[in-house]
Amino acid sequence: MNTIDNSHHIDCCTCFGDSASAKTWIDLNACVLWIAVFIKLIPDLFAYSDDTFSFDFESNMSWYAPYQKFLPAKQVHLLLLLDELGIPYEEKKQVFGCSIKIIGFDVNTKNMTITMTPESKAELLEKIQTFISGLRFTLREFQSLTGHINWSFNIFPLLHPSLSNIYHKIASASHPLQFLWMNNNMKSDLQWLSHHFYCLEYF
Amino acid sequence: MNFKIPHGTGIYFLEALCVASAIHNFKSYLSTSTAIIFTDSENTVDMFNSFHTTPPYNPILTSMVNEIVEYSYDICVLHIDGDKNDVADALSCGQFDCAHQLVPDLSIEEFSPPQDILLSIRKFLPPRNALGAS
């Protein structure tokens, strides 16, 4: 909601990048999921930001008329709710199968594994290396790093201790553009993290 | 004991160190890689379940993760009330006679905590002369 000259305007294209738009989005999506779980009684629904996902048995398929194809029953149930509420979505994002990407991870129900793709692993390792060899970074850059690493903890929960010293350091800063110096403890934590990243596929 | 507890460490550190020591010693005592460790320290339970703690205690967690990864351990740390954990409670107070009364054939042995943890935490501790130690 933007107020210009005392008249209120709803900004439908709330720009991502500030914390308020994320909060608005989560508030809205939480309401939709609440309806899905408690009114439509769709079981085992999981959500991570704007990704909603679940599982179903291979034999439990339903016909979804708008796409003229069979989809897992729970998925159809959720899409019908989005249709009812008038929430738009793209067909190419409504995927299912034994091996699909969920929040950037490869989830494979045949092998029962969740893995990071080699590309996303390499990308994160490169980012970590930049911090290990750098001297100082802004609070916003540190937050971007910790956010990225935190995402990988979905696969590697054991590596949580690698952020202890960084969290301790950035807790003292408040301005997004404030520079913070890397110290030896932060570097050795990140080196420890990189070492385990190289060795582990998942844990 | 053939080591010295560094100055400036509190009970939380020692309880967490005990859990980490137990994990380090699994390979010599247990044939299985799955184990549950009970402690009456709520803080220690939280630390090992969340894998998050403040920098001075962090070496305990990183050392434990190194062991878990290397030996593929599946370990769970759970809480137990002190009065239900009477043998460990007696040992922690140095009441070895009391522990023997509870379990007559109890074998009590010395152990060294993981040296990598003791080395890592030194940098977080105040200098010895700051504590007035000689």
pLDDT of residue B7: 52
Which residue has tokens 């402690």? B39
- Residue A111 belongs to a domain: no
A13 and A56 in a single domain? The answer is: yes
Reply yes or no on whether the pLDDT at B128 is more than 80: no
Residues A77 and A130 in one domain: no
DSSP-assigned beta bridge partners for residue B35: B75
pLDDT for A147-176, tens place per residue?
999 999 998 999 999 999 999 999 989 899
CA angle B45, B47, B50 (to 5 degrees): 100
| Co-location of A11 and A84 in the same domain | yes
Q: Are A54 and A75 in contact (CB under 8 A)?
A: yes
Give chain A's contact residues with B (Cβ, < 8 Å): 157-162, 164-165, 168, 185, 189, 192, 196, 199-200, 203
- Fold for B11-131, please state it: Nucleotidyltransferase; domain 5 (3.30.420)
Provide the domain count of chain A: 2
Would you state the pLDDT for residue A129?
96
d(CA A150, CA A156): 9
Q: Lowest-pLDDT range, A124-128, B1-5, B113-117?
A: B1-5
Chain A residue with Cα closest to B72: A203
Structural domain contains residue A167: yes
| Same domain assignment for residues A131 and A91 | no
Helix (H) or strand (E) holding A105: strand A105-108
DSSP A3-64: EETTEEE--TTPPBTBHHHHHHHHHHHHHHHHIIIIIS---S-EEETTEEE----TT-EEEE
pLDDT exceeds 70 at position B46: yes
What pLDDT, in 10s, does the model give residues A55-77?
Answer: 999 999 999 999 999 999 999 99
Which pLDDT score, from 0 to 100, does residue B134 have? 37
Domain limits for position A161: 116-199
Pair A181, A123 in one domain: yes
Asked whether residue A181 is domain-assigned, the answer is yes
Is A192 within 8 Å of B62 when comparing Cβ atoms?
A: yes
Instruction: Among B54, B69, B71, B121, pick the best mutation site for testing chain A contact (most A Cβ within 10 A).
Output: B69
The residue out of A96, A124, A143 marking a domain boundary is A96
Amino acid at the residue B70: E
Contact A161 B65 (CB under 8 A): yes
Per-residue confidence (pLDDT) for residue B4, from 0 to 100: 53
Convert the pLDDT of each residue in A9-50 to its tens digit: 776 666 655 667 778 888 889 999 999 999 999 999 998 878
Residue A172 · residue A186 · CB < 8 Å: no
In a domain, A20, yes or no: yes
Task: For A90-142, write each residue's pLDDT tens digit.
Answer: 999 999 999 998 888 999 999 998 989 888 999 999 999 999 999 999 999 99
Confidence category of residue B2, pLDDT binned at 50, 70, 90 = very low
